[in-house]
Amino acid sequence: MTTQIATQPSRAAVPEADMARSAATSADGTTIGYRHVGRGPGLILLHGSMSSGANHVELARLLGDSFSVFVPDRRGRGLSRPYRGLGDLDQELEDLAALREATGADLIWGLSSGAAIALQAARTTSGIRKIALFEPPLVQDRTAVTALLRRFDAEMAAGHVEKAMITAMRGAEMGPAWFRALPQRFTSKLVAMGMAAEAKKPTGPYPAMGTLAPTLHADFAVIAESSGRLDDHRSIEIPVLLMGGSKSQAYLKRSLDDLERTLPNASRVELPGLDHAASWNADLGGHPEAVAQELRAFMTRS
């Protein structure tokens, strides 16, 4: 899960007018929209939770001198149609398969839940040449994740969107620690105020919290279904780059430790001074240049 909530950007959002747009059709007929920039080997960038492909426009441009970069919006966000039902790992894998078929891309990078999807695709499908994973939040015991998902779903079903958001933020350690430490009655009010403010003032290319909140079910479902199966990943023989930030949460670093010990052909890099949102556009606090440098070196390596 990502460590920030994408509300109003601090500077002017990165324009996308020069990026081509197209769409793939998933197995169940759902349209998955994506942006395209650059020329060269095909590389798909999969975003994580509380974000969309718009968060990685700068990263895509930085890589466009070496790759044909495809930046999809996962279901329920931006250019793509909603989930059928609440969303799960199977739908995400079908969407990625449709993107690969439409673009011919055989290189995949993913952030957080997007990284978990890329990892499962490498395990269950053929034709992927390399993957790079930025801090997939996998745990050895999925019990806590499934319990969190049940609570989130119950609060969403009851119409308590702001409470569900706080449940997600605390469970995934999203947002500042001081904010998560506040009593829920205060944090719920703050989130509700933020959502109301976004409803009055557009967030540019970035989806608003109210739009993104329902998609969190799919993110937690992906993590729950991907966790507790480390031994399954031993069958992944393609090169894998494990990426993370030195300032990221401890549980994300443990996930990378587990994967580094398990994957037979893995390398690892830690980006000093950066955190889970390092790959996001600079106006959202990201540092995509550092991510692009490591990603380009890995993907072009023989």
**Tens-of-pLDDT digits for all 302 residues of the chain?**
444 443 434 445 566 877 999 999 999 999 999 999 999 999 999 999 999 999 999 999 999 999 999 999 999 999 999 999 999 999 999 999 999 999 999 999 999 999 999 999 999 999 999 999 999 999 998 999 999 999 999 999 999 999 999 999 888 877 677 676 777 777 778 877 887 888 777 667 899 988 999 999 999 999 999 999 999 999 999 999 999 999 999 999 999 999 999 999 999 999 999 999 999 999 999 999 999 999 999 999 98
Q: Which residue in 116, 117, 95, 96 sits closest to 42, CA to CA?
A: 96
Burial (CB count <10 Å: 0-12, 13-18, 19+), residue 91 = buried
| d(C-alpha 258, C-alpha 234), whole Å | 11
DSSP at 24: E
Please give the pLDDT value at position 182.
73
Q: How far, in Å, are 49, 106, 222 from residue 227 at the CA level? A: 17, 24, 9
Spatial contact of 27 and 217, defined as CB atoms under 8 Å apart: no
DSSP 6: -
pLDDT number for residue 193: 82
pLDDT for res 94: 98
Helix boundaries (H) for 52-176: 57-63, 89-103, 113-124, 143-157, 161-171
169 φ/ψ sector (left φ>0, alpha ψ -120 to 50, else beta): alpha
Show me where the domains of the chain are located. 20-139+229-300, 143-219
Hey, CA dihedral for 146, 286, 250, 179, is it positive or negative? negative
Q: What is the DSSP letter of 133?
A: E
Pairing of strands 266-271, 42-46: unpaired
Nearest-angstrom CA–CA distance, 244 and 155: 32
Q: Which CATH class is domain 20-139+229-300?
A: alpha beta
Tokens (6 digits) for 289: 């240049």
- 214 phi and psi, to 5 degrees? -65, -25
Q: Residues 6 or more apart from 262 whose CB is under 8 A from it?
A: 230, 231, 233, 234
Helix (H) or strand (E) holding 68: strand 68-72
Q: Tell me the pairing of strands 20-25 and 31-37.
A: antiparallel
- Report yes or no on whether pTM surpasses 0.95: no
